[in-house]
Amino acid sequence: MKVFVLGGTGFVGIHLARFFIRHGHAVTCLVRSQSKAEDLPPGARHVTGDPLRSGPWQEEAAKADLIVNLVGRSIMTRWTDEAKEAILKSRVMSTRMAVEAISRERASETVLVNANAVGYYEGAGDRDVTEESPAGKGFLAEVTQAWQEEAERARKKGARVVIARFGAVLGRDGGLLAQMLPVFQLGVGGRLGSGRQWFSWIHIHDLCRAVLFVAERRDVSGPVNFCSPHPVTNRELTRTLARLLGRPAILPVPGFALRLAIGDAAKIALRGERVVPRVLERAGFAFEFPTIEDALKDLVLRP
């Protein structure tokens, strides 16, 4: 299978490229500059270009059987008007360019797996939410809906589209866990706010496996929740991590302190969603790391 990845030099992109190469697939990544290509895993080809603009790179993308778009400005920042615009634009424009790259002649043979987020269900609270649950209300819900609408334009060309609603991706070398580990290893970690908020997550290896799974399953399309079947509360996450590291977790971060630090973005950490992967489970996908204990043992204790 020929795979083209937008956002291939990010945390998820590098893992995904390495995974597909290891499984015998040809991977090409879009990079903004030649120097960024040095971050790619051995075996990955690359083309240079701007994922937010049309360019010659789209000719290479058009040859792919699978296009994976992972581009998106980080949401973990203070949400100024300028930051909000950049967050939305990076997602919508990169998706627009990915859809534009799909050749109508080959569209029926093309799969677009477009990243999205469980923030689609913003404000769902304690109830289980599945792919059939309605969109929430708030900035993240608005962004993910616009993001999804842009990706679904590829259906009109005849391509199969998977809207990959990612939970928090756990890995040792990036994402939330990489930020938490140094703090908890020093014994100064703790819950965020009350700790009762839900945390929907997925091990990076299961995410890569799930992308390959949906790419090969022609009966899977539309929104797919990429998260473990066992979401946990923030309190359970911090307690499990501290126990495995043999460190205390007694220094909670008050909600007001988090809001002072990053403003409205604190809502992500203080108001989670309880998301379950109904589509993946019904399609027969088996998680290798279904529980937070399984995932953290692998990521924290494995040499």
Please report whether residue 244 resides in a domain.
no
Q: pLDDT digit of tens for each residue in the chain (303 aa)?
A: 999 999 999 999 999 999 999 999 999 999 999 999 999 999 999 999 999 999 999 999 999 999 999 999 999 888 899 999 999 999 999 999 999 999 989 999 999 999 999 999 998 888 899 999 999 999 999 999 999 999 999 999 999 999 999 999 999 999 989 989 998 998 888 888 889 999 999 999 999 999 999 999 999 999 999 999 999 999 999 999 999 999 988 878 777 666 766 677 667 777 889 999 999 999 999 999 999 999 999 999 988
State the pLDDT at residue 208: 98
Q: Is residue 105 part of a domain?
A: yes
User: Does 16 fall in a domain?
Assistant: yes
What is the number of domains present in the chain?
A: 1
For residues 121 and 71, what is the distance between their CA atoms, to the nearest angstrom? 20
* Residue 256 to residue 262: CA distance in whole angstroms: 10
Residue 299 DSSP label:
I
| Residue 193 DSSP label | T
10 Å Cβ neighbour count for 98? 26
Residue 140 lies in a domain: yes
Asked, for residue 110, whether it belongs to a domain, the answer is: yes
Instruction: Give the range of the structural domain holding residue 18, as residue numbers without chain letter.
Output: 2-170+201-228
* Closest-CA residue to 301 (of 248, 249, 244, 238): 244
Rounded to two decimals, the pTM is: 0.95
Residue 6: strand pairing partners? 30, 69
d(CA 15, CA 39): 11
Q: How far apart (Å, rounded) are the C-alpha atoms in residues 225 and 167?
A: 8
Q: Give the amino acid at 168.
A: A
Task: Specify if 108 maps to a domain.
Answer: yes
The answer to whether position 193 is within a domain reads: no
CATH number at residue 215: 3.40.50.720
**Running DSSP on this structure, what letter comes out for residue 273?**
E
Query: What are the angstrom distances between the C-alpha of 94 and each of 11, 32, 73, 144, 147?
Result: 17, 13, 11, 13, 9
In a domain, 177, yes or no: no
